[in-house]
Amino acid sequence: DEHCGFRAISVLLDESEEEHQMVRLDLTIVLNQNRARYVKLLGGQDIFDVIKNALVPDEIEAAHDDKWMTMPDMGFLVAQK
């Protein structure tokens, strides 16, 4: 269902795979709390907005490709979490 990256993080954090939506929420919080830092780290507001958009799913079902976990951009957020 293309939530696999977020499901993997969920399992690595000793949670259920079904907690992948909470992983998205947690990463969104980290991103927003450190906005200026991530805008600079990611190379600008445009990339920041793409990452932020990817963390907010359109629906519970299969994720569209603009909602997938992308590396290395989201790697910094995962490490922060």
Q: 10 near 61, Cβ under 8 Å?
A: no
pTM: 0.81
pLDDT of the chain along its 81 residues, tens only?
677 788 888 888 888 878 888 888 999 999 999 999 999 999 999 999 999 998 987 766 777 788 878 888 888 888 887
Q: Say if residues 10 and 16 touch (Cβ distance below 8 Å).
A: yes
Q: One-letter amino acid identity for 26?
A: D
